[in-house]
Amino acid sequence: MEQKWPQNLWIVRHGQSAGNVARDSAEAARLPLIDIAARDIDVPLSELGEEQSIALGQWFGGLPRPAQPNVVLCSPYLRARSTAQLVLQAAAARPDAHILHTDERLREKEFGILDRLTTYGIRERHPELSEQRAHVGKFYFRPPGGESWCDVILRLRSLIDTMTREYRGERVLIVAHQVIVNCFRYLLERMDEAQILELDRQADVPNCAVMHYEFDRSQGKNGKLMPRLIHFVAPLAEKGTPITTEADVPAAPKP
pLDDT one digit per residue (tens) for the chain, 255 residues: 789 999 999 999 999 998 777 777 777 778 877 777 778 899 999 999 999 999 999 999 999 999 999 999 999 999 999 999 999 999 998 777 778 999 999 999 999 999 888 888 899 999 999 999 999 999 999 999 999 999 999 999 999 999 999 999 999 999 999 999 999 999 999 999 999 999 999 989 999 999 999 999 999 888 999 999 999 999 899 889 999 985 443 333 333
pLDDT value, residue 47: 94
Contact predicate 179/147, CB 8 Å:
no
Question: DSSP letters of 194-216?
Answer: HHHHHHHHH-PPPTT-EEEEEEE
Q: Note the helical H segments in 76-177.
A: 78-90, 119-125, 127-136, 149-166
pLDDT value, residue 248: 43
pLDDT value, residue 246: 56
Residue 231's SS3 state is strand
pLDDT value, residue 253: 31
Query: What is the 3-class SS of 2-29, one letter each residue?
Result: CCCCCCEEEEEECCCEHHHHHHHHHHHC
Most distant CA atoms of the chain, gap in Å? 58
* C-alpha span between 147 and 198 (Å, rounded): 20
The backbone torsions φ and ψ at residue 90, rounded to the nearest 5 degrees and listed phi first, read -70, -30
3-state helix, strand, coil in the chain (%, to 5): 45, 15, 40
CATH number assigned to the domain covering 8-238? 3.40.50.1240
